[in-house]
Structure 1
């Protein structure tokens, strides 16, 4: 199975996951402290969106990496691919 090879992409993904982890810990604290369910649900929604965003980013990075490697693209074609995948990431981000 392929792995993310780009260090910048890997760091970005890890930062997104750490942010979601922090949000999740905040939700656990809210439950322990007896916060209102509506407030907890709102925070749960935020964590879900953060994880969805991380998943889309990881998927786009994977596609970018694999397509460049398998198709052995020239630099100008790589730039066009990056643009298309960036647009795809934006579109998928609006689905949530």
Structure 2
């Protein structure tokens, strides 16, 4: 399986995961403090959304990387690919 080659994409995904990690720690503190279940559930939903967003971003980055490599796309084809995969990311972000 291929690895993400683009450093900025990897950094973006790592930052998303670190934010989700912080949210999870916050949920643990909420549980320890005896916060209301509805408040905790709301934060859990936010973490799930953050993880889903990171997954979609990683998937789109992988698709972009592999399509460029496998289809031998030229630099002038890059904007069309970016636009198409931007639409794919938007669509996948709405799946739930």
TM-score by length of 2: 0.97
In the comparison of the two structures, how many residue pairs are matched? Answer: 96
Runs of at least 5 residues in structure 2 that lack an aligned partner in the other structure: none
Alignment match, 1:70:
70
TM-score by length of 1: 0.97
Please identify runs of 4+ aligned residues in structure 1 that moved more than 3 A: none
- Residue-by-residue CA offset, 1:11-32 (whole Å, 9 max, x unaligned): 0000000000000000000000
Alignment match, 1:31:
31
Runs of at least 5 residues in structure 1 that lack an aligned partner in the other structure: none
- Residue-by-residue CA offset, 1:44-92 (whole Å, 9 max, x unaligned): 0000000000000000000000000111101121211111001110111
After TM superposition, list the pairs within 5 Å mapping 1:1-96 onto structure 2.
Answer: 1-96=1-96
